[in-house]
Amino acid sequence: MSPTPPPPPTGIGILGLGTIGTGTARVLADNGALIADRIGHPLRLVAAADLDPDRDRGVDLSSCLLTTHPERVVDHSDVAVVVELIGGTTLARDLVVRALSAGKSVVTANKALLAHHGDELTRLAAANGVALRFEAAVGGGIPIIKALTKGLIANRIEAVYGIVNGTCNYILTEMATTGAPFERVLAEASRLGYAEADPTFDIEGIDAAHKAAILARLAFDTPVDLAAIPVEGISKLASIDTDFARRLGYVVKLVAIAKRAGPRIDVRVHPTMLPEGHLLAKVDGVFNAVVVKGDAVGETLYYGAGAGAMPTASAVVADIAEVATALARGDVRAADPCAHRVVERRELLPLEEVETGYYLRFEVQDRPGVLSRISGVLGSHQISIAQVRQHGRDREGTVPLVILTHRAREGSVRAALVEIESLGVTEGAAVVVRVEG
């Protein structure tokens, strides 16, 4: 009896040969033999599309079709897995829809695409019996998607939260350790390549919100309206805030949060003060980390490089290998992380109903009675004070006043701040940072 011949190579098509696309091609080239040994058959890069296909990228692409027309890659008869790495939500969506509709599985690192169109694309993949995988969309090389959909499948997920934007984490780490102002650290982040030319999506929390929407959808099996997620960035923070946090025993991180709130879910992104002993407190620089709390396993931490060519390419190629293995077994839907999951729409908890601790920094007039008037307003709104700190005089006639509260309702805090502003004893808006953990 002759042995069963090995499956033929799985054909791969890459859309976009930028940083991640080139990294993906390099991993396929460098570790192709190793991957083939592990999954039982080879992966073959058949075609790739880019605006500048002839540029030298330091990896041999001579054996595959190089084109400026991404449709040629999607439609190529030998391409079974389309890897979308061009970014954005317009052309990328059109190409992914084209691939899925043609019965081809898709691997993507595009968090914006998934946050805006994930439910549509998930349904389309199911309707056409193919897989849509997106490990690299959250956390770069950290296998958080697989943890949520496979490793923790025995758990009812109670919460998933973490540091999912390396640019913001680098900036906040540097502000805390050097005392440098936000603008100077942002400029240094740009020089080092940690921030985009236009860093708005990062520093205003939009990138983290895209990832929060993806994590919440998987953790709680519910579609998440991206526009309904409360989002605040880090651009209003000053080094005085990171310094006060340290004095109070906390660190400041931009945290994406998704957790159960009864029948609803609480999803939000904002700067957050965490106790120095918290799991996320020592995650510094450009690294990412995500905590998942399951009812059986408790809290688990997933840590690693959240961006970069090779860490992200590692996740992309792992997804390709999963799809190729499922294809060889004749059940490609087995590679889809959303297959067989029952989706139930859950209401998002309004920000006004969120309860947490608060760090409040006021610039107040340097005269007697100011603290008592402010604390009186807070008390009238049922907001209890945990700590009070005052700094030296910041500028002529005013001093920074910091109040740390016990748990309070967001709506009450906002109403109190409006009333405090009307007292005429503060200058400018108060800086507000929520306290968790």
The residues carrying an active-site annotation are 211
- Given phi > 0 = left and psi -120 to 50 = alpha, else beta, which region is 139? left
Distance CA 233, CA 169 (A): 11
Query: What's the gap between Cα 378 and its chain centre?
Result: 34
Cβ-Cβ contacts under 8 Å for 30 (sequence gap 6 or more): none
In one-letter notation, the amino acid at residue 41 is H
Taking CA atoms, 330 is separated from 8, 78, 334, in Å, by 13, 17, 9
DSSP secondary structure letters along 332-364? GGGG-TTTTPPP---PBPPGGG-EEEEEEEEEE
On the CB side of 325, CA atoms within 13 Å amount to 15
- CB atoms closer than 10 angstroms to residue 353: 12
The sign of the dihedral angle between the CA atoms of 336, 337, 341, 345 is negative
In the chain, how many H helices and how many E strands? 14, 16
Beta bridge partners of 305: 287
Structure tokens at 26: 């390099």
